[in-house]
Structure formats: C-alpha cells, structure tokens
Amino acid sequence: MNQTSRLLVLTGIFFLISAKGFSQFGVSYYSSSLSKIGLGYDFNDKWKVEARLYSNTIAEDITPELVLCYNVVSKERHNIYIGIGANINYYTGPVLPLGVEFRPLEKLDKFSLLIELQPSLDVDLHEELTLQSHWGLRYRF
C-alpha cells in the first residue's frame, strides 16, 4: 500500500472514530459507465464522509475514493451537497462531488435517490479532467 493509500485510509478512520451523537451509517450505489458502491457516515445533518469503490473495473484497477461532503441545503425531503475528496489507482487525484439527494417516499425515508456531478482530475494521466455524472440509491441505517 503506497503512502497516498495509507493517508486516505487513515483520514477515513479518523473521521469515523471522531463522530458523536447524530451519526449514522449508510450504503450507496452510483450508476454510470464508472459505477461505484459506497459506505457513508453522517456526522450530523450537515457533514458526511463516504468511502467509495469503483465497481466496473477489473481487479487490478479497483479504485477507492474518499469524499467529505457538506449539505449546503438540508431540507426534510432533500439535500443539496458539495464535497472534496480523492481517489487512487485507475484514477488518481482530487474529486469535487456536487449532488442532490431526494427522499421521495415519506414512509420509506431511509431510502433516497441521488444525482451527482463530479469533476475529477487524474494527475497520473497528463492531468486530464474528467466530468462524471451518476444517479444512484442510498439506504441509511
């Protein structure tokens, strides 16, 4: 495991250990040509961290990603968030997720629909900028 990987993992563990009170876990699936699965942790109604794993890659290209997001708008049925993070391996570099999370069904408020736009700068490939868009599902425990 290289130094960037260790730093990414240690940062994630630090955020998970330091949370109090409100915090809750969630799992996510993001669908696109580069689908991802994620395990997230909400510190409160404004801050969350999520560890994501690109799932449409071969084993040697498995790409982990860690993002810290802030809910700019936090309403009962939806959130609008921005974030900052990084990924390593197949893509390596910073990411800036911008998304909307909807909870359309009142009786199933643990489920939400996601729409996310994420610029990613791949520093290993001649600093190439990639603009990813995803839709997805999230379940909060």
Which residues lie below 8 Å from residue 113, measured CB to CB, with a gap of 6+? 101, 102, 103, 104, 135, 136, 137, 138
Give the ranges where the chain is alpha helix by DSSP (H): 3-18
Which stretches of the chain drop beneath a pLDDT of 70?
1-23, 56-57, 125
pLDDT at 7: 60
Residue indicated by tokens 């960037």: 4
Rounded-to-5 percentages of helix, strand, coil across the chain: 15, 55, 30
pLDDT at 13: 61
pLDDT at 130: 85
Burial-class residue 30 by CB neighbours within 10 Å (0-12, 13-18, 19+): buried
**Global pTM value:** 0.78
Q: What percent of the chain has pLDDT over 90?
A: 50
Q: Which two tokens stand for residue 59?
A: 């084993």
Backbone angles phi, psi at 18, to 5 degrees: -85, -5
Go through the domains of the chain in sequence order and give each one's CATH number. 3-140 (2.40.160.20)
